[in-house]
């Protein structure tokens, strides 16, 4: 799947039209449409804005590590020898997700 295909899928999963994505990304609907259709070879900055508007952060990975990185991410960040079950340590993906989640603590009173 190409990166543009990933963006199209993410846009559709989010229930956004090309116009809505364009608005969120600061782009015209026509730019989004042309990028998605392949009629335009978009600039990296355009692709980054589209991705970020969809809550995605592109990451460049060395070609020789791609398969390993994809397998690691598909596994939920668990290493092959890592124990499973409730007592298993959290995976790196779980750790990062919990760190990014908004705090559930009530705001402190000053």
Count the helix, strand and coil residues of the chain and give each as a percent rounded to the nearest 5: 55, 0, 45
Is residue 100 scored above 70 in pLDDT?
no
pLDDT value of residue 68? 84
All structural domains of the chain with their residue ranges: 1-54
Selected residue with higher pLDDT from 54 and 92: 54
Is residue 110 scored above 50 in pLDDT?
no
Give the confidence band of 75 by pLDDT, cuts at 50, 70, 90: confident
Say what percent of the chain tops pLDDT 90: 48
Note the pLDDT tens digit of each residue in 4-48: 999 999 999 999 999 999 999 999 999 999 999 999 999 999 999
* CB of 21 closer than 8 Å to CB of 56: no
CATH code, 1-54: 1.10.260.40
Q: Token digits for 75? A: 């596994």
Q: Token digits for 21? A: 């994505």
Stated pTM of the model: 0.64
* CB of 32 closer than 8 Å to CB of 22: yes
Distance between CA atoms of 17 and 52, rounded to whole angstroms? 16
Closest CA to 54 of 96, 5, 94: 5
Q: What is the SS3 string spanning 50-88?
A: HHHHCCCCCCCCCHHHHHHHHHHHHCCCCCCCCCCCCCC
Average pLDDT on 79-108 reads: 63
Say what percent of the chain tops pLDDT 70: 71
Distance between CA atoms of 79 and 32, rounded to whole angstroms? 38
């Amino acid at each position: 799947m190409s990166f543009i295909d990933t963006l199209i899928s993410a846009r559709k999963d989010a229930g956004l039209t090309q116009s809505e994505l364009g608005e969120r990304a600061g782009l015209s609907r026509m730019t989004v449409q042309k990028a998605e259709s392949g009629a335009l070879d978009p600039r990296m900055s355009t692709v980054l804005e589209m991705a970020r508007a969809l809550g995605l952060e592109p990451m460049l990975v060395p070609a020789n590590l791609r398969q390993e990185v994809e397998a690691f991410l598909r596994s939920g960040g668990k290493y092959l020898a890592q124990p499973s079950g409730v007592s298993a340590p959290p995976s790196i993906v779980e750790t990062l997700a919990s760190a990014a989640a908004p705090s559930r603590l009530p705001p402190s009173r000053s």
